Amino acid sequence: MEHQRCYIYEPQDTDERPAKRQRTSKTDSKGPQSERLATFRQLWHQQEKRIQASLDEVDKATQDQLVQFVSEAPTTSAACIPTGLVIAGPSIASHGPFFEHLGRRITDETDCTHVVLTGSESPNLKTLLKNLITKITSRTEEDDDLEIATTTRSGGPKLLNFDLAHVHRWQSKGRVKSIVVTIRDSEAFDSNVLVEMIDLFHSWLDRLPFVLLFGISTSAESFEDRLSGKSLRQLDGQKFDVTQSDEIVEKLFRATTASTEVQLQMGPNLMRRILDRQKDHVQNIQDYSDGIKYASMSHFFANHTSIFLQPDLSFRALDAHAFEAVRNLPSFRRRAEEMLDEGSTQEVRNMLDSDQFLFDLIIEEIRQGQQALHALNGAAVVLADIRRFLQMSPSVPLSSIWIRAASGELIGSPLLRETMLSIRKIPSNKLAQLLLALRGDSAITNYVDLTTYEDQLVELINSTDTTEPLRSQHDVRNESMRTTVVAQKVLLSKHKAALSEQDKAYSELIGNFHDNLERYFAEAFIDPRALFLSEILIYDLKSPHADAFQPRPRFAIERALASPQDYLGSESCGVDSDEGALSISQPATALVYQLYLESGPLINISDLWTAFSSMCGQEGNDGESKTMALFQRALAELKLLGLLKPTKKKTDHVAKMMWKGL
Amino acid sequence: MVSAKRKRADEEPETSTPRKLRNRTLADDELEVSDVQTPSRRARGRLNEDGTPRSILKKSGIRNGILATTPKSNRRLVFETPSKPAIQDTPNGTPVIVRNADRSARRKSNRKLIERAINGADSDEEDLEEEQLLAQQILSDDEDSEESTDEAGVRDEEDIAEPETPSKRGRGRQKGTIKKLGRPRKKRSPSPLQDLPPHEEYFWQNRPGGAKTSNNALPSQSILNHDEYFQAMQTYADPHRPEKEFLLELHGRAFDQWLFEFQEGFNICCYGYGSKRPITDKFAAHIYQRLSTTTPYKNSKKTPKVVIINGYAAGTTIKEVLTTVASTITSSHTKLPNKPTALLSYILDCLTENPPPHPVPIIINSIDSPYLRKGLNPSLLASLAAHPSINLLCTADTPNFPLMWDVGLKAQYRFLFHDATTFASYDAEIDVVESVNELLGRSGKRIGGRDGVAFVLKSLPENARNLFRILVTEQLALLLMDGADGDPDEPSTLRRSKATSSNKDTSGDSSQGIEYRVLYHKAVEDFVCSGEVAFRTLLKEFHDHQMIESRKDAMGTERLWVPFRLEDLEGLAEDLCEDAS
C-alpha cells in the first residue's frame, strides 16, 4: 500500500479488534462532550448569522451599484466597451468570494451572463478565448456541445475553438442582453494579453454586447498605466470602490466580539492576536471568522465547565464532573476565600457540598457575568462612537478600544480622560447631534437618561435668542490669555470671559451629562478577568490557536532535531548527564543534524562520517555497516527536509542549505 | 570580499612598521648621496607605489626621515663604518625585493577582485582556493619580511644602541609598542565565536575563504548498496522505540478532536519531523471505524470510502488523485472527463448536486512532494478542499511548506495546522541509498549499480552483451597493468590502493579507458559487429543507459570506459563471463 499512489482505504482484519475496543472505552466520557458540542453549534449558529448579516450589509452597496451598472449598460452600437473598474483592495483572498457573489446576483437579477477569468488560466489570448468560449457557451443547456458540432458542419467554414463566432452564434439566438466578462485579478494578466483582448472585444462590440469588469488590487491609475492609449479609448470606464477588508473586519468585530448578545466572550489577548494576524498576514474575512470559530470550538471541546453556557440548562442533564470542574476553577477558589474572610462559612460549605446549590449559584452568576460583559462591550462601542463623532485624533478603532477595555486598562487611561475632557468642551449644537447619535445604542440608554438631557437642551436653546450655539465654561473660546510685564518678567494668565446666563445653564447641563457618562464608564469598564467564573465566560488561551493558525514548521523540525529530548523524553536521549555535549543515545538524524549545525556551508561527507562513526560507531564489520546504514538514512532524511544539497564544488561534499533559527 | 579588504586593512599597521624603518634607512642612504632630491623623489615614488591609505604613514615617514637625517648620517660616518654595510645590505637588499613581490601580489589580488566583480559573483571553488593561496602567500611573505626586518631592526637597535641619542631610542620603543598593539589583532580565532545569533553565524560561515574542508573522500565500498542497507536495517533495533510509540499514541488521542474539526468544515495539515504515515494510517482506520458505525453503513454491506494519496510516490499526478476521488462519489461506469480541470469541476458539480451522506475524507501524505507541488496542482487541490463535502487531511515534510500557498489558496484550504512530530523513519518516502548516491554525485550508481547494468544487459541482444564484456575485460586488464606493477595476484592490496586513490578511478584520466579504435577492432575480430555503423548503434545503447562514458584525451583520441570502480568491474566481468559460457 505504501508505494501505491492513490487508493481507497481498506481495513486490515487484524486491526479491527483493538480499534473497536478503544472506541467503546471512550463512549462513557463522550456524553457530556457531545452535549457541549451541541451547545457550541447552537451558539455558533447565532454568531454565524450575525457575521453573515454584517457581511451582506457591507458589500451590498457596491454590489447594488455594479448590478445597476451592468443592467444599464448600452447593449449594442456603443463606441466603447462599458467597463467597471472594481477597486477590490490588496487582499486577493477576498476577491474570489466577492466576484462569486456578484456573479450570482448578476445572473439572477439581470438578463446577462457572467464569466470570470483569472490570470492563471489565461496565459495568452488564445487560451483566454478558449476558456471564455467554453464558459459562455456551456452556461445554459446541455446540448451546446452537440449544437456547436452541428452548426460547424452545416454553416460555412469550420470554426477554430478560439473564434468568437461561436459566442456570436450562441448569442444570435437572443439569449442574453449582455455578456459580462470579469477579469478577477487584472494584475495577474500580462498587459499584452489585456490589450489584445480589449482590442478584439472592441472589434466584436457591434455584434456581441460585452461588459468588462476588472478586479483591481492596486489603483485605477496604475491599471490605466498598463494599457495603451488606444485600448483606453476603447473603454468607457466607471470606478467602484469595494469596502476594504480592514473596515469589514472592524464591522465584523462590532457584530461578533463587541456585540451585546454574545454568550462566550473572546479574551483580549486572543483578539489582539487574531487582529494582528489579520493586519500583518492574511487580510481575509473568512480567516477572521474562522479564528473566532476555532476559539469557541476549543472552548467547548476541551473545557468541561463550558456546558453551563447552554441556554435553559437543567440540573439533571449534568453529571458530577462538571461541578467538580467548577470547584477547581481559580475564580471559584478566589470567591470562596473572599467569602471565608467575610465569615460566611455556611455558604462556602454549601457551595462545596451541594451540587444543587452550586448549580443555582452558577446559573445566576453566569447571567450576571454575561450582563457585566455585555455592558463592557456596549460601553466600548459607546466610547468608540463618541470619539468618532467628535472626530478626535488619533482615530482609534473600536477593536483596539475594546481590547484595552477587556484587559481592564481603560479606566484612568489617557484615552478615556481625553475623551471626557473634550465632551466638556462641546458646544450645544454638537451635543444635540451627539445625543441623537447615541440614542441608537441600547447599552447606554439603560444607564444614562439621554431624553431628559435632550429635553433640557431643547428648552435651553429655545430660551436663547441668538443663533450662536451655547458654549460651556470649558470651551477655549471662553478663555483668553493675558500677558503682563512685571519687573521685566512676563506673566501669562488665563482669564475666563464672563459667561452669559444661558451659557452658565448650559455648562451645568453639560457638567451633569459628563458626570453621568463618567459614572457609566466607571461602572461598565470592569476588569472582566476578575469576574467570578470568568473561565467559563471568557476564552483567552493562546496555545492551540497560535499553533493551529500560525504554524512554525521550520522551528518544529529544527527543535526536534536539535533537541530531540523535548519530544522523546530526556532519559532516553541521555541529555541530563552532560550539558551541551552531544549524547550518543540520540536518534542518528538528530546527531548528524547537530554535527551539520557546527559545520560551514560546505560539508565533507567523509569527515562527517568519521565524526559520526567515532561517536556512535559499533565494533565489528556488522556494526560498522549498521552505523553506515544509520548515517546514510540520516543524510537522506536531511536531504528530504531540504537541509542538504549536492554540490559540484568538491568531491564528496554537500552544501548546507539552512541555518538554524534564521 | 569585504572581509578580504578588511583583512588587508588589518595588516597594514603591522607591515607598515617595518617599512617605516626600511624607508628611514633608505632615506639615510639617499641622503648620503644627494641631500636635495630625496624628499620630492620619495614622495613621488610613494604615491605611485599605492593609493591613499598609506598617506598618513608617509607623512610620518618623511618627518622621521627629516628628523633623523643630519645627526644620524654624521654619526654613522664617524663611528660605524665597518659594521654598517654588512648590516644595511641585508635589510636593504632583501626587504626591497620582498616588498616588490608583495606589491605585485597585492596588485594581482586586486586585479582578481576586479575581474571577479565584473564577471559576476559565481565564484567557483577555484577562485576561492586561489584567493586562499594568494592570501597565504601574502601572509607568509609579510611574515618573512617582518621577521627579517624584525631581525634587522633588532640588530639595528643593538648596533646603534650605544651611540644613540635619547630621542632615537624613544622612537625604537615606539616601534615596539606599535608592534605589540598590532600583534593581537592578527591572531585569528580558529573556530567561530560561540553563541552567535543565527544570521551572524550565516555570514560567518559564508565569508569568502571561510569554508575550509579537507580533501578526504569517502571510500566507495563503505557506502552501502540496497541489499546491504536493508540487511543492516533489518538487524537494527531502535533504542527509541517506546518513546516513538508513545508519541504516536499522543497524536492518536487527538483524533476525536480532528474529527470535530472536520465536522466544522476545516481541513487539517500535519507537519513536523518524522514520517507521518503511521499517523495517517491510524487516522484512516479511525475514521473508517467511526463512519462504518453511522447510518448509511451500519447494517449494510457498503463500506465507507477513505481516499488515501501517497504524494511522495514517484509519478503521482493530479489526474490520478482526482480520478480516485471521483470514484468515491460516482459509480465506476460513468465516463469521466479527461482533463484535470474539467474533472475537478465535474467532481465539484457532482458534490454540490447530490452531496454524499458525509464529507468524503481524503488523506494526502506529503502534499509538498515535488509531484504535487508543481504547476497548477496546489490550486486544483485547494479548490477541491474548499468544497464543504470534502475533508482533507494532509501531511507536509519540508520545513518551508507554507510558502507553497499564497493568501488566496490558504483561504481556500482552510487549514488547521497540527504539530505531528513522530521521529518515525521515512521508509516509504525516501529511497535512502539512491538519495545518498545522488547527494554525493556518485556516477555509475545512477542506473542502480552493478545490478542495474546486468538488468539492462539482459534486455539487450547477444552482440551488445559481448561488446560490453570486451569493454569490461579490456578496462580491467588496463587497470591491473597500471595499478599492480609487482603482484597482480593480490587483489586485496590492490583494491585498497585503488580505494585510497579513488578519485583517479572515476575521473577517467588518459590511461584509463580503451581507445575507440582498439575497441572497434576487437569487436570486429570477435564478430560482434560487422561495420562501424552497427558498432556505433551498440555504443549508443550503452550511452543512453549511462553504462559507458567517453572522452577525448590530450592526444585527441576518443576513449571509452565503464564508470565503475575496480571491484564492481571484477564482479561485472564475472557475471558476463558466466553468461557467455
Across the interface, of A301, A554, A626, the residue whose CB is closest to B260 is: A301
Please give the angle made by the CA atoms of B423, A298 and B396, to the nearest 5 degrees.
Answer: 30
For A162: left if phi > 0, alpha if psi spans -120 to 50, otherwise beta; the answer is alpha
Distance CA B224, CA B432 (A): 10
φ and ψ at residue A646, rounded to 5 degrees: -65, 150
Instruction: Give B46 or A191, the one with higher predicted confidence.
Output: A191
Is the separation of the CB atoms in A608 and A599 below 8 Å? Answer: yes
b/e map of A284-317 (b: 16 or more CB within 10 Å)? bbbbbbbbbbbbbbbbbbebbbbbbbbeebeeee
CB contact under 8 Å between B272 and A602, yes or no, is: no
Q: Which of A633, A647, A648, A650 to mutate to test the interface with B (most CBs of B within 10 A)?
A: A633
Least CA distance to B218: which residue of chain A? A606
CB contact under 8 Å between B328 and A3, yes or no, is: no
Rg (CA), chain B: 38
Across the interface, of A281, A622, A640, the residue whose CB is closest to B430 is: A640
Length of chain A: 662
Across the interface, of B216, B396, B408, the residue whose CB is closest to A93 is: B408
Q: Which of A5, A549, A598, A645 to mutate to test the interface with B (most CBs of B within 10 A)?
A: A5
3-state class of B446 per DSSP?
coil
pLDDT at B88 over 50: no
User: Residues 6 or more apart from A634 whose CB is under 8 A from it?
Assistant: A588, A589, A591, A592, A593, A612
* Residues in chain A within 8 Å Cβ distance of B283: none
* pLDDT score recorded for residue B90: 43
Q: Give how far B417 is from chain A: nearest CA, Å.
A: 4
At A25, is the pLDDT very low, low, confident or very high (cuts 50, 70, 90)? very low
* Residues in chain B within 8 Å Cβ distance of A604: 213-214, 216
pLDDT at B393 over 90: yes
Q: Give how far A296 is from chain B: nearest CA, Å.
A: 11
At A142, is the pLDDT very low, low, confident or very high (cuts 50, 70, 90)? very low
CB contact under 8 Å between A5 and B320, yes or no, is: yes
* Residues in chain A within 8 Å Cβ distance of B127: none
* pLDDT score recorded for residue B464: 86
Instruction: Give B358 or A475, the one with higher predicted confidence.
Output: B358
CB contact under 8 Å between A2 and B277, yes or no, is: yes
Least CA distance to B311: which residue of chain A? A5
Across the interface, of B206, B429, B441, the residue whose CB is closest to A640 is: B429
pLDDT at B186 over 60: no
φ and ψ at residue B177, rounded to 5 degrees: -65, -40
Distance CA A313, CA A309 (A): 8
- According to DSSP, the residues that pair with A115 across neighbouring strands are A181
Across the interface, of B315, B399, B407, the residue whose CB is closest to A5 is: B315
Closest CA to A197 of A136, A125, A130: A125
* Residues in chain A within 8 Å Cβ distance of B435: 635-636, 639-640
Distance CA A346, CA A357 (A): 12
Window from A5-19, A564-578, B95-109, B258-272 with minimum mean pLDDT: B95-109
pLDDT at A334 over 70: yes
Kindly state the average pLDDT of the residues B422-431.
90
Residue A535, Cα to own-chain centre: how many angstroms? 24
Across the interface, of B198, B327, B396, the residue whose CB is closest to A553 is: B396
Q: Give how far B217 is from chain A: nearest CA, Å.
A: 6
CB contact under 8 Å between B247 and A567, yes or no, is: yes
* pLDDT score recorded for residue B104: 65
Q: How many CB pairs under 8 A join A and B?
A: 280
Widest distance between CA atoms in chain A: 111
* pLDDT score recorded for residue B273: 93
pLDDT at B283 over 70: yes
Indicate where chain B has its CATH 3.40.50.300 domain(s): 241-419
CB contact under 8 Å between B435 and A549, yes or no, is: no
Length of chain B: 581
Distance CA B144, CA B99 (A): 11
Is the separation of the CB atoms in A282 and A93 below 8 Å? Answer: yes
b/e map of A179-200 (b: 16 or more CB within 10 Å)? bbbbbbbbbebeeebbbbbbee
Q: Give how far A26 is from chain B: nearest CA, Å.
A: 10
Q: Is B154 on the interface with A (CB under 8 A)?
A: no
CB contact under 8 Å between A625 and B236, yes or no, is: no
What does the pLDDT look like over A597-612, one tens digit per residue?
A: 888 888 999 999 998 9
Q: Give how far A14 is from chain B: nearest CA, Å.
A: 11
Closest CA to A248 of A54, A64, A475, A10: A54
What does the pLDDT look like over A231-269, one tens digit per residue?
A: 888 888 888 888 877 788 888 898 888 888 888 889 999
pLDDT at B32 over 90: no
ipTM: 0.84
Type of residue at A270: L
> What does each C-alpha distance from A346 to A320, A336, A354 come to in angstroms?
21, 11, 11
Q: Is B369 on the interface with A (CB under 8 A)?
A: no
pLDDT at B402 over 60: yes
What would the DSSP string read from start to end of A223-267? HHHHS-HHHHHTEEEEEEEPPPHHHHHHHHHHHTTT-SS-SSEEP
Domains of chain A: 32-57+244-411+525-550 (no CATH), 73-243 (3.40.50.300), 553-656 (1.10.10)
What does the pLDDT look like over B303-340, one tens digit per residue?
A: 888 999 999 988 889 999 999 999 888 877 778 888 88
3-state class of B34 per DSSP?
coil
CATH class for the region spanning B241-419: alpha beta
pLDDT, averaged across chain B: 71
3-state class of B415 per DSSP?
strand
C-alpha grid cell for residue A249?
Answer: 473586519
CB contact under 8 Å between B217 and A649, yes or no, is: no
Least CA distance to A555: which residue of chain B? B399
Rg (CA), chain A: 35
3-state class of B268 per DSSP?
strand
At B391, is the pLDDT very low, low, confident or very high (cuts 50, 70, 90)? very high
Closest CA to A185 of A251, A121, A255: A121
Q: Which of A48, A567, A647 to mutate to test the interface with B (most CBs of B within 10 A)?
A: A567
- Strand A112-117 vs strand A178-183: parallel, antiparallel, or unpaired? parallel
Q: Is B180 on the interface with A (CB under 8 A)?
A: no
CB contact under 8 Å between B440 and A600, yes or no, is: no
C-alpha grid cell for residue A303?
Answer: 473545557
Closest CA to B207 of A437, A453, A141, A602: A602
What does the pLDDT look like over B221-257, one tens digit per residue?
A: 788 888 888 888 888 888 888 889 999 999 999 999 9
CB contact under 8 Å between A6 and B307, yes or no, is: yes
pLDDT over 90, % of chain A: 14
What does the pLDDT look like over A418-440, one tens digit per residue?
A: 888 888 888 888 888 888 888 87
Q: Give how far B233 is from chain A: nearest CA, Å.
A: 7
